[in-house]
Chain A
């Protein structure tokens, strides 16, 4: 593995390796120390959480970070091309971690520079470290990634994280249960992909019908901006809010995941239950990113 650009590029073996290295880093069985390494964090689109998570991951490994933030397109300033900017930054650093609103920017960067590139999100396309930390969280709570029943609720149309999650879990014989407002359903091309891979999926208007069967419920935010009419939003939003009283008959191993930030799609009364796992999930992001950085720098 030379770069981490898209879940599409990863084999099952590579996914499992990342999960395993993350486990060893978290447990302390594996100690990676990279005091001489510099990671360039190029965030052309603001995302404080992802930036902090990567920054922490590098620092926990003993490495240092260069941080560049800004908005807008990839061509940064003074008419310098994006390729030149990347070439220059790659002279100062050992790995580039990049977030951009431009789709395919990380792939392009990986073709321009000699050092490893991690995609920290490229527009609506990919956010592979999120998918991998989700997998790590699932593995940690379920003991396995194989044969699980995964519910996915919320905005399934525009939710990049849920698309990557479906893609990533595809190798592990899951059964998916989807619930969303009718105009925010899982896009046809994702469902076609699942069908091509003979993965079982089930679609419903609400999650109550299947929540008791699940091992994992992955909740995502439904944004008001996705609705043409505020009335429509108000009508449906309540149907996709997870509340404590819905958890009476769930399986004992059941866990709730959420990529955060949460607005009101998970009621705070769920937070104190044994099923809430979204904050530990964010913590897992650091171990997962430590693992990915270690692998790409050849330290593992």
Chain B
């Protein structure tokens, strides 16, 4: 497989080392389709992980909440800040112990789906499961939906 170059950006953010196949989901979550100028690279060769996805977003800085969601979906992701075609910062995805608001509890009987309130999930990093702090049900990251971020 030949190494493919993805167009350089002048200012913005590169989300690198996304687990292969997850970039489109992340792009949807970030509303990229409707808003920003962005490029997705899928199934690229990665020296570290075999195959990876990458997203480059022009003129966009990720919020902490966005980084947390991305970290849960793909813990291997890293975030690169670009200014004037130069890398100004690089950070690896960080999974928080507790995540507020971002996850929608799949349990219909859960209070978080009935009242207007923020959800709260406790993350188990060992097996990447999440537990609702309210109904206490445990899910894998793949079983939950993320709130679409504004």
A residues with a Cβ closer than 8 A to B are: 6, 8, 73-75, 81-83, 101-105, 107-108, 122-126, 189
Pairs across A and B, CB under 8 Å, 30 listed: A6-B136, A8-B136, A73-B114, A74-B111, A74-B115, A75-B114, A75-B115, A81-B115, A81-B116, A101-B109, A102-B110, A102-B111, A103-B107, A103-B110, A103-B134, A103-B137, A104-B110, A104-B111, A104-B112, A104-B133, A104-B136, A105-B111, A107-B134, A108-B111, A108-B115, A122-B135, A123-B135, A125-B135, A125-B136, A189-B138
Q: Is the interface of A mostly helix, strand, loop or mixed?
A: loop
Q: Is B150 interfacial (CB 8 A cutoff)?
A: no
B117 touches A (CB below 8 Å): yes
B-side binding surface: helix, strand, loop or mixed?
Answer: loop
Give min CB distance, A187 to chain B, whole Å: 11
Q: Indicate if the CB atoms of A124 and B116 lie closer than 8 Å.
A: no
List residues of chain B with CB under 8 Å of any chain A CB. 107, 109-112, 114-117, 132-138
Please name all residues of chain A whose beta carbon is closer than 8 Å to the beta carbon of B133 when the two chains form the complex: 104, 107
Q: Which of B116, B135, B138 contacts A103 (CB 8 A)?
A: B135
Q: How far is the CB of A278 from chain B (nearest CB, A)?
A: 27
Question: Cα distance A277–B133 when bound, in Å?
Answer: 35
Name the B residues within 8 Å of A105 (CB-CB).
111
Can you name 16 extra interface pairs (CB under 8 A) apart from A75-B114, A103-B135? A6-B136, A75-B115, A101-B109, A102-B114, A103-B109, A103-B111, A103-B134, A103-B137, A104-B111, A104-B132, A104-B134, A104-B135, A105-B111, A108-B117, A125-B135, A126-B136
Assembled-state Cα–Cα distance A126/B109 (Å): 13
Min CB distance B143 to A, Å, is 12
A102 to chain B: closest residue by CB: B111
Inter-chain CA distance A122–B112, complex, in Å, is 13
Q: Which A residues touch B138, using CB under 8 A?
A: 189
Docked pose: A123 CA to B133 CA in angstroms: 15
CB-nearest residue of chain B to A108: B111
Query: Cβ of B115 and Cβ of A83 under 8 Å apart?
Result: yes
Contacts of A83 in B (CB 8 A): 115, 117
Taking CB as reference atom, which chain A residue is nearest B117? Answer: A108
Min CB–CB distance A84 → chain B (angstroms):
11
Flag if A74 contacts B109 (CB, 8 Å): no
Determine which residue in A6, A122, A126 has the highest number of CB atoms from chain B within 10 A of its CB, and name it: A122
Nearest CB in chain A to that of B129: its residue = A189
